[in-house]
A and B are shown apart, each in its own frame.
Chain A
Amino acid sequence: MNVKMKASIVGAAAALALATAPATAIARDTISIVGSSTVYPFATVVAERFGRASGQPTPKIESTGSGGGMKIFCQGVGENTPDITNASRRMKTSEFELCQKNGVKDITEVQIGYDGLALANSVKGQDMDITLRDLYLALAKDVPDPKGGEKLVPNPYKTWKDVNPALPNIKIEVIGPPPTSGTRDSFNELGVEGGCKTFDWLKAMKGQDKDKYKAVCRSIREDGAYIEAGENDNLIIQKLESTPDALGAFGYSFLDQNRGGVKAVKINGVEPDMNTISSGDYPMSRSMFFYVKKAHVGVVPGIEGYIKEFTSERAWGEEGYLVDKGLIPSHKDERKKWAKNAAALNSMTGKEL
């Protein structure tokens, strides 16, 4: 290599470095969305349809998790911050305040629909019907003493039959997501805590010592009965198919897509399906939201169109294409209310949280 060639390489590197400077000045024409991995499968479908139909660039959607999405969303207003964030839970007051502090004053909230948390086992396994109390007793780290009294003992139960004589005599083995996952949060809150609350004296603890209550009611045993399987729900389903006695916890859409291999466990006698989840009869259901940064509407083209597509009946309605992907639609009146709210771009006051 001679000197000239060397010089040209250095030149190229310098040119590239210069090219980075004007990059920040170019206005963004693609909608940028961040947030929950639970909402991701639905938001992406809407984005794709919106892109195809409107002829505008398809929005870019990052799967960052609900909390991570809120953090980036609330960073401020401007081209390098996202326009919309998805969440598998409602915005927390602390997050709303963070947004306000950073100048993200006007936020519009839209509820998309519901997601059920399914407990399932292999089609080769036995049919199961458990209560939330059974679930709590089977999986919590400390449970009320089986001999009676208001005392907590380390979880002594080995089989489902130990927990409740009506259940089959098989080992307690539940495969589920790790603590970093939003699905695990919901599992702890809706499932385990739901069962915990059925003990009056534990419920009473909530009023007296909230931290202790949370520690007791949301802890999962660590002696091997609960197996963490990583963030990938498909992996849980594969494991269930090879171990018929184990139960698995994952999002309803995965159950819906894998009916051939796994079947649902009834909770409190209710099987998860579209009706029972949206009505709340099935106890482990949660609502999903997205939040729009109003300051970006009109600056980044297409945000209104995307919102309109998402809140249209052909997307989130009972026969909409999101239902095919596993979304549980909200009730008709609810849909109407949220669609109206979205179209008017009403700002949140912070009081509704």
Chain B
Amino acid sequence: MSKTTEKVRKTLARRYRAERRFKAFGIVSIVIGLSALLLLFGDIIGKGHSAFFEHYVELSITYDPETLEIEDANDPEQLRYGNFEGVVRAAIQERFPRVEERQDRRALNALLSTSAGYELRDRLEADPSLLGQKETLWLQLDDDADMFLKGSEKQRENARLSPQQREWVLDLEAAGETRSEFNRSLFTSGDSREPEQAGILGAILGSVFTMLVTLALSFPIGIAAAIYLEEFAPKNRFTDFIEVNINNLAAVPSIIFGLLGLAIFLSWFGMPRSVPLVGGIVLTLMTLPTVIISSRAAIKAVPPSIREAAMGLGASKMQVVLHHVLPLAMPGMLTGAIIGMAQALGETAPLLMIGMVAFIVELPTGPLSAATVLPVQIFLWAGSPEQSFVALTSAAIMVLLAFLIAMNTLAVVLRKRLERRW
């Protein structure tokens, strides 16, 4: 046996051990990462799943013209000022006829959501012939009563209901006059301060408009900048300086872009506050570096042989770029753009400065109407005192996560399908 082999033999076991240890470290880090993710998801889903359902109560409603103070259901003016809450109150008091004290009646009325009256108004508006008629309807319960019904034994003890109210709700539950339904308003309405009426559609639309503006601006600008810097720009100190700056910009805290937006777009250009257009422009500034850097990487990855072959056939520089390099680099550029968009979708800090952290009930109709975005909605709900908003916050986080996962999946799929190996 030679000396070297002997030496190797001696250290072999130790080297194997080192390798096993190294692998074990890797596995442990992955397990830590995964369990953190599981914990996060478990917590969010555990808190948020109940928000996707809400409780309704069955009541027999009489559209009494006298209580409503409506003579003609076709008159929009009368409809607007109709006393629909009075009708709802009459209905629940009819269900519990023995409640007579003023205070008690107030407590009883408080079990129903204020949305009940608005629903009756909408129904009467849609069908004026209902005036004077009777109808059995499922109406929304107030968030406190809803929380009570959703809660476990222990949670019920802590619910914000008086003993009397508990009795009434339990009575309704026992009689089968309450039921749990999918929370439609969560996906069909804008923000509200009543948890049972609050929805995220407004925030989703706001996010969509903001993202459209960001995409429409950052994609063309980013690609044009990347192509110029990569294919046409001379390599000198000035372009080096630009490159360093782009890389630096990618690391600037996002709130700075918000301050910039406030100073330039709102104060100088006099653009309106709280609109997705400004939000989109600010987020464009934030995502541009990401888009440029990833686009440049994609262009760099196109082999020089392609360019040389095209040149050899007599193509001009511009033809080489537009006909050959750009189509081949496109999948990588798209991936970069989508990841940049996903990053922008989760951003709140820059929007704070330009007034998009706001309570907005109306659904936005375009990039110029006041809107907020999903992460801001989550932030606002997380700070609300009503307990039901805890579940709503988690539900909104789930929706945001779903969007982010969808976008990132799209990026992966695009890369896999369009990618070409050389």
State the A residues within 8 Å of B (CB).
1-3, 6, 9-10, 12-13, 16, 19-20, 23-24, 26, 28, 30, 32, 34, 37, 40-41, 44-45, 47-48, 51-53, 55, 57-58, 60-63, 79-80, 82, 231-234, 251, 253-254, 256-261, 319, 324-326
The complex places the Cα of A6 from the Cα of B322 at a distance, in Å, of 9
The complex places the Cα of A309 from the Cα of B373 at a distance, in Å, of 28
B186 to nearest A CB, angstroms? 17
Q: Is the interface of B mostly helix, strand, loop or mixed?
A: loop
State the B residues within 8 Å of A (CB).
80, 106, 110, 118, 157-160, 192-194, 213, 216-217, 219-221, 266, 269-275, 277, 322-323, 326-327, 330, 355, 357-362, 367-368, 370, 380, 382-387, 390
- How many A-B residue pairs lie within 8 Å, measured between CB atoms? 119
Q: Tell me whether A53 and B80 are in contact in the complex, defined as CB-CB below 8 angstroms, given that A1-B330, A16-B217 are known contacts.
A: yes
Among the interface residues B194, B355, B368, which one has the most CB atoms of the partner chain A within 10 A?
B355
Q: Tell me whether A62 and B357 are in contact in the complex, defined as CB-CB below 8 angstroms, given that A1-B330, A13-B217, A20-B271 are known contacts.
A: yes
The complex places the Cα of A137 from the Cα of B256 at a distance, in Å, of 40
Contacts of B361 in A (CB 8 A): 47-48, 51, 58
A74 to nearest B CB, angstroms? 14
Contacts of B219 in A (CB 8 A): 9
A67 to nearest B CB, angstroms? 15
Contacting pair A260 B157 (CB below 8 A): yes
Contact among A44, A58, A254, A260 with B158 in the assembled complex (CB-CB below 8 Å): A260
Q: Tell me whether A41 and B193 are in contact in the complex, defined as CB-CB below 8 angstroms, given that A60-B358, A234-B390 are known contacts.
A: yes
A191 to nearest B CB, angstroms? 20
Contact among B106, B277, B330 with A319 in the assembled complex (CB-CB below 8 Å): B106
A-B contact pairs, 26 of them (CB 8 A): A2-B322, A3-B322, A16-B216, A16-B217, A19-B367, A20-B269, A24-B272, A30-B362, A44-B359, A48-B193, A51-B361, A52-B118, A55-B80, A58-B360, A58-B361, A60-B359, A62-B273, A62-B274, A62-B355, A79-B272, A80-B270, A80-B273, A233-B385, A251-B385, A254-B385, A258-B385
Among the interface residues A3, A47, A52, A82, which one has the most CB atoms of the partner chain B within 10 A?
A52
Contacting pair A12 B216 (CB below 8 A): yes
B302 to nearest A CB, angstroms? 14
A65 to nearest B CB, angstroms? 11
Contact among A13, A61, A258 with B216 in the assembled complex (CB-CB below 8 Å): A13
The complex places the Cα of A176 from the Cα of B50 at a distance, in Å, of 29
The complex places the Cα of A9 from the Cα of B322 at a distance, in Å, of 14
The complex places the Cα of A3 from the Cα of B316 at a distance, in Å, of 14
Contacting pair B383 A37 (CB below 8 A): yes
Q: Tell me whether A234 and B118 are in contact in the complex, defined as CB-CB below 8 angstroms, given that A2-B322, A51-B361 are known contacts.
A: no
B244 to nearest A CB, angstroms? 26
Q: Tell me whether A13 and B220 are in contact in the complex, defined as CB-CB below 8 angstroms, given that A1-B330, A20-B277 are known contacts.
A: yes
The complex places the Cα of A52 from the Cα of B362 at a distance, in Å, of 10
Q: Tell me whether A234 and B370 are in contact in the complex, defined as CB-CB below 8 angstroms, given that A13-B221, A23-B272, A51-B361 are known contacts.
A: no
Contact among A233, A257, A260 with B383 in the assembled complex (CB-CB below 8 Å): A233
Contacting pair A232 B221 (CB below 8 A): no
Contacts of A234 in B (CB 8 A): 382-385, 390
Contacts of B194 in A (CB 8 A): 48
Contacts of B275 in A (CB 8 A): 23
The complex places the Cα of A2 from the Cα of B321 at a distance, in Å, of 10
Q: Tell me whether A80 and B266 are in contact in the complex, defined as CB-CB below 8 angstroms, given that A233-B383, A261-B158, A324-B110 are known contacts.
A: yes
A322 to nearest B CB, angstroms? 11
Contacting pair A1 B359 (CB below 8 A): no
The complex places the Cα of A40 from the Cα of B358 at a distance, in Å, of 10
B117 to nearest A CB, angstroms? 9
Instruction: State the 3 A-B residue pairs at the shortest beta-carbon distance, nearest first.
Output: A260-B158, A58-B361, A61-B359
The complex places the Cα of A60 from the Cα of B330 at a distance, in Å, of 41
Contact among A48, A52, A62 with B358 in the assembled complex (CB-CB below 8 Å): A62
Beta-carbon nearest neighbor of A253 in chain B = B385
Contacts of A37 in B (CB 8 A): 383
Contacting pair B326 A48 (CB below 8 A): no
Contacts of B213 in A (CB 8 A): 16
Contacting pair A61 B382 (CB below 8 A): no
Contacting pair A231 B322 (CB below 8 A): no
The complex places the Cα of A234 from the Cα of B394 at a distance, in Å, of 14
Contacting pair A44 B193 (CB below 8 A): yes
Contacting pair A257 B160 (CB below 8 A): yes
Contacting pair A257 B271 (CB below 8 A): no
Q: Tell me whether A325 and B193 are in contact in the complex, defined as CB-CB below 8 angstroms, given that A13-B221, A16-B213, A30-B370 are known contacts.
A: yes
Contacts of B368 in A (CB 8 A): 23, 26
11 further contact pairs, Cβ within 8 A, besides A41-B193, A254-B385: A23-B368, A24-B269, A34-B355, A58-B361, A80-B266, A80-B271, A80-B272, A234-B390, A260-B160, A324-B110, A325-B385
Beta-carbon nearest neighbor of B212 in chain A = A16
Contacting pair A63 B358 (CB below 8 A): yes
Contacting pair B385 A257 (CB below 8 A): yes
Beta-carbon nearest neighbor of A26 in chain B = B368
B295 to nearest A CB, angstroms? 13
Beta-carbon nearest neighbor of A261 in chain B = B158
Contact among B192, B272, B362 with A57 in the assembled complex (CB-CB below 8 Å): B362
A86 to nearest B CB, angstroms? 11
The complex places the Cα of A48 from the Cα of B382 at a distance, in Å, of 19
The complex places the Cα of A1 from the Cα of B110 at a distance, in Å, of 61
B228 to nearest A CB, angstroms? 13
Contacts of B272 in A (CB 8 A): 23-24, 28, 79-80
Q: Tell me whether A61 and B358 are in contact in the complex, defined as CB-CB below 8 angstroms, given that A20-B271, A233-B385, A326-B385 are known contacts.
A: yes
Contacting pair B220 A60 (CB below 8 A): no
The complex places the Cα of A32 from the Cα of B390 at a distance, in Å, of 27
